[in-house]
Amino acid sequence: MKHDGYNEFRQRGRFDFPIEFHHVDQHHPRFYMPYHWHMEYEIDLIVQGSLTLTLNESQVHAEAGDIIFIRDGVVHGGHPDSADTIYDCIVFDMKKMLAGSHTFQAQIEDVLKHITLINKHISAATPDITPLMQQLFRSMKAGSPGYELVVTGLLYAFLGFIFQHGLYHEAAALALREHRRKRITQLKQIFQLIDSRYQQPLSLADLAQAANLSPNYFCRFFQKLTHHSPIDYLNRYRIEMACLKLAHTNDSITEIALSCGFNDVSYFIKLFHRYKETSPRKYKQLMKESK
């Protein structure tokens, strides 16, 4: 069972080709995307349905064919808007993959330094974007001989497309960036606490203390940034961890409930059905059949 935590410091793909591909549908254990961050860039392509993600302090709603671009260090998470939603994503180290050409070095360095910010949401209505991105994801998924050259070339083409069509903007003033950075740091501290202690009892006071905020202010702060109450999000996260264990272990329902911070198994089953619209037992069977 793989669990990378909120702060995903790990090797993506191969050392000489640092990129990985994920296909996410309702059978994926992390169909609902818990909040997390990593130091690589991410591109999500909505294949079917729609997806709503929060990226730091802004929310993005993307429909089929749309692209979501997530830069390094951004806290992101959210949920598909229906059970039939499907999306593909690639996570890659831009510096290792694309910062080797002197011809484009200045433009890529501005992206890496967050001087130039690529738009978070790129609509499928943008001319010529759909076939470019479909080819990128198709090549990554197939992994045919020579696909590394094709994928690298298409990532360069993607950046060229961004600059050609003006799908970027300049970073905000330094003072505003510092204020935002402080809030995001507080949010990351909360997520790190949940990730490390979700198996144990956690109160609202515990979560507020991690952000160094009063409980009342913390609730408003957390709700504004994540669109969930702190306790609702904690329960959702515990259910997602339960999904991973249901998919990848032979532990009993009771063992999984207790290991994910639920002391009452009937309450665990009730919450699981609320968030997943099925029972833990049926979910476990579905995951077994989909392998």
How many angstroms separate the CA atoms of 154 and 139, rounded? 9
Q: For the chain, what is the mean pLDDT?
A: 89
Instruction: Report, as an integer, the average pLDDT of 46-58.
Output: 94
Residue 93 has pLDDT above 90, yes or no: yes
Per-residue model confidence (pLDDT) at position 103: 67
Tell me, what's the pLDDT at 183? 83
Q: Please tell me the predicted confidence (pLDDT) of residue 7.
A: 52
**Residue 2 binned pLDDT confidence (cut-offs 50, 70, 90):** very low
Least confident of 29-43, 97-111, 116-130: 97-111
Domain boundaries for CATH 2.60.120.280 within the chain: 19-170
Please say if the pLDDT value at position 113 is more than 50.
Answer: yes
Residue (of 196, 183, 255, 263) closest to 224 by Cα position: 183
As a whole number of angstroms, the distance between CA 210 and CA 189 comes to 6
Q: Given a cut of 70, is residue 141 above it in pLDDT?
A: yes
What's the confidence (pLDDT) of residue 27?
84
Per-residue pLDDT, averaged over 85-92, amounts to 96
Report the pLDDT value the prediction gives residue 10, as an integer from 0 to 100.
55
Q: Give pLDDT tens digits for 187-205.
A: 889 998 999 999 999 999 9
Residue 268 has pLDDT above 90, yes or no: yes
**CATH superfamily for domain 175-290:** Homeodomain-like (1.10.10.60)
Secondary structure class of 119 (helix, strand, coil): coil
The residue among 184, 58, 52 whose CA lies nearest residue 117 is: 58
Beta bridge partners of 121: 68
Kindly report, residue by residue over 161-191, the tens digit of the pLDDT.
999 999 999 887 656 567 677 888 888 899 9
Over residues 102-123, the mean pLDDT reads 87
Residues of each domain in the chain carrying CATH 1.10.10.60: 175-290
Q: How far apart are CA 43 and CA 106, in angstroms?
A: 22
Say how far apart CA 30 and CA 244 lie, in whole Å.
7
pTM to 2 decimals? 0.79
Q: How much is the average pLDDT of 57-69?
A: 95
Is residue 281 pLDDT above 90, yes or no? Answer: yes
User: 268 is written with which tokens?
Assistant: 């665990």
pLDDT confidence of residue 57 = 85
- What CATH architecture is 19-170? Sandwich (2.60)
Angle of CA points 90, 227, 188, to nearest 5°: 60
209-226: per-residue pLDDT in tens? Answer: 998 899 999 999 899 888
Q: What is the CA radius of gyration of the chain?
A: 20
**Residue 1: per-residue pLDDT:** 47
Contact 266, 258 (CB under 8 A): no
Confidence tier at 72 by pLDDT (50, 70, 90): very high
